[in-house]
Structure 1
Amino acid sequence: MWFKNLIIYRFSKPFELSADELEEKLNEKRFRSCGSQDMSSYGWVPPLGRHGYMLTHSANRFIMVCARKEEKILPASVINDVLNERIETIEQEQDRQVFSKEKKTLKDDVIMELLPKAFSKSQNTFAYIDAEAGWMVVDASSFKKAEDLTSCLRECLGSLPIINPALKNAPSAIMTQWLQQNPVTPAPFSLGFDCELREPSDDGGQISIKKQELITEEILAHLDAGMQVSKLALNWDDAQTFVLGDDMIIRKLKFTEVIEEKLDEINAETAAEQFDADFSVMTLSLRQLITDLVDALGGEAEE
């Protein structure tokens, strides 16, 4: 349940559904495993996993949801082997050539025949809604994965008025300034030891720096030559470490001993109580992190 990546969305209109109201709407797309002829399936599962049935989990006015994607594993090499064998048989037995249109039909037939025998894999994606602060946060490292979840949620709700945060400044410009000025990052942030530099052009080069001090003459020389910071490792308030991208995606998020100490103070007796405690501590901490990060980047642009 602990988020490892953050894609942050801003509600452009207040989210006014209660957890119970959201639960009712999510039931329309409760997850069902792939049928024998399905390549994939997508739907909502309980955030508590086997410890719960409800499709929403609410605490401190935060609402968590979880989507599951199941896909059949059908390698292209397997499909092509069966398809080529079938084409060869037709050409030999009927003494004719199989053209592209017929090959496509044969390929579709092969896929339908192989699907019931294929193994499947599944993956869960968690997200939570912070209606009070106006954020929706998805645990994903790519917009494609996040959009699968938000699209499914939009289908259930009829509309989902969310946008990527509109900032006054480009994150890459601010992160570049942080490495060029002294002092660097504003409190409560401090620099980590990883970053990525890129040239502004689409086909420009890039440099990846790992486990090194970032305020060096070499890095400053690259920045003075026009390169910009595209990824930067940061620490927040000694509670979390992460890598911030110029796309505003937070990756490699880790919670430190500070968070663990808060959890140690909670005496949870059941798995559900522990989940509730984890969820409360995590979301309250992330709300402050997001607030501080947006401020550090110069704030949100006015409408």
Structure 2
Amino acid sequence: MFRNAVSYSFNENFTLTIDQIENALSTKPKRSLSSQEIESWAAEEFIKGDDRYCLDATNGFILFKFNIQTRVLPAQVVNKAVNDKIEIIKEKEQRNISKKERAEIKENILFELIPRSFIKEKCVNCMVSTNDRRLIVDTQSFAMADEITSLLRSCLGSLAITPLSALYHIPETITQWRNKPPADIELLEEFQLISSLDRTIKVNHKNTSLYSNQVNEHIEEGMILKYVRMSFDEKIEFTLDDLFLLRKIKFAVEPENKTEDEYENIQSQAFLESKELNLLLDKIIANISSIPNRA
């Protein structure tokens, strides 16, 4: 269900009902792009037999996903078409092309090329934990997460949330965990060190002990950990960075009782992963500092 996690906290108690959320999502149905549309965002449906749902919910977890269709029109293709057109005009009419006319040519070229462009499609998974007052978006792009939350806000009318990165202080925490990691969290041998004075100075490590002499020297020179690969309770492996972003999440959990119904098995797996992911976030939050006047 989740490969990455940008996490938010609801500023108030979560009061929306499942029906309210489903009705809101249903106002953004999936559809085909029109000939001149560049992008389309819509609620993706869960399908079980002949039944279709905008969300799935159980035990305090609400799962839903957004479908994003984007036309792929490489800039080099557009620029070549524009330049070719300009060269034809120059040769035929023996004159230079003004900036205004070039812009008009480009606009006409785009109008011709957009309907013929390739459409790229992807789904972004989202989860609300009503008990933890938490929203999680499966992306490692904060820009994408902002787009998703904006779309969700437009569906619901309002969405009072704050990124966990704005509530909790991560940067020095990861480095401090090197000496005493939280219970059930193991720091693995994949990480990046950055200079605390110049963040452009970076040293990447893989298959290297966090406690090697080389790393000790870097830490003594003032470098801190930007991100570290970790394992939580032998159930989740992930990379945590200093922006409170979880990347490359891998789960090692499966439902105890599987059925012959594939949809039910997928559903059970998704909710189990949601539960474990929230337990992981609880563990991280319990071992880092709140930002004054924000939490």
- TM bucket (normalised to shorter chain) is over 0.9
Shift in CA distance, 242/52, structure 1 to aligned 2, threshold 3 Å = farther
Deviation at 1:204, TM superposition (A): 3.6
| CA–CA distance in structure 2, aligned partners of residues 153 and 51 of structure 1 | 26
RMSD between aligned alpha carbons?
A: 1.9
Choose between structure 1 and 2: higher strand proportion: 2
Bigger mean CA deviation after superposition, 196-205 or 279-288: 196-205
Instruction: Please point out which of 232, 241, 244 is paired with 2:228.
Output: 232
Opposite residue 205 of structure 2, the aligned amino acid is: I
Shift in CA distance, 213/51, structure 1 to aligned 2, threshold 3 Å = farther
Instruction: Please point out which of 255, 270, 277 is paired with 1:279.
Output: 270
Q: Is the 8 A contact 1:167 1:299 kept in 2?
A: no
| CA–CA distance in structure 1, aligned partners of residues 166 and 99 of structure 2 | 50
Matched position secondary structure for 1:107: helix
Choose between structure 1 and 2: higher helix proportion: 1
Deviation at 1:96, TM superposition (A): 1.9
Opposite residue 263 of structure 2, the aligned amino acid is: A
Shift in CA distance, 204/55, structure 1 to aligned 2, threshold 3 Å = same
Bigger mean CA deviation after superposition, 78-87 or 200-209: 200-209
| CA–CA distance in structure 1, aligned partners of residues 173 and 103 of structure 2 | 51
| CA–CA distance in structure 1, aligned partners of residues 198 and 46 of structure 2 | 40
Instruction: For residues 93-135 of structure 1, give each alpha carbon's deviation from its aligned partner in whole angstroms, at most 9, with x where no partner exists.
Output: 2232111111111101101101111111111100101111111
| CA–CA distance in structure 2, aligned partners of residues 51 and 218 of structure 1 | 60
Alignment correspondent of 1:28: 27
Q: Is the 8 A contact 1:47 1:126 kept in 2?
A: no
Correspondence 1:1-303 to 2 at 5 A: 2-48=1-47, 53-165=52-164, 170-179=169-178, 181=179, 184-202=180-198, 204-256=200-252, 259-260=253-254, 263=255, 265-298=256-289, 303=295
Ranges in structure 2 where 5+ consecutive residues have no aligned partner: none
Shift in CA distance, 48/291, structure 1 to aligned 2, threshold 3 Å = farther
Shift in CA distance, 241/221, structure 1 to aligned 2, threshold 3 Å = same
| CA–CA distance in structure 1, aligned partners of residues 50 and 220 of structure 2 | 55
| CA–CA distance in structure 1, aligned partners of residues 48 and 74 of structure 2 | 29
Matched position secondary structure for 1:190: strand
TM-score by length of 1: 0.91
Opposite residue 132 of structure 1, the aligned amino acid is: N
Bigger mean CA deviation after superposition, 292-301 or 279-288: 292-301
Ranges in structure 1 where 5+ consecutive residues have no aligned partner: none
Identity of aligned residues (%): 27
Opposite residue 214 of structure 1, the aligned amino acid is: L
Deviation at 1:50, TM superposition (A): 8.3
| CA–CA distance in structure 1, aligned partners of residues 8 and 159 of structure 2 | 11
Shift in CA distance, 49/100, structure 1 to aligned 2, threshold 3 Å = farther
Shift in CA distance, 73/50, structure 1 to aligned 2, threshold 3 Å = farther
Bigger mean CA deviation after superposition, 130-139 or 157-166: 157-166
Bigger mean CA deviation after superposition, 82-91 or 132-141: 82-91
Deviation at 1:221, TM superposition (A): 1.3
Moved over 6 A (4+): none
| CA–CA distance in structure 2, aligned partners of residues 49 and 152 of structure 1 | 25
Matched position secondary structure for 2:196: coil
Matched position secondary structure for 1:124: strand
Bigger mean CA deviation after superposition, 209-218 or 105-114: 209-218
Shift in CA distance, 290/249, structure 1 to aligned 2, threshold 3 Å = same
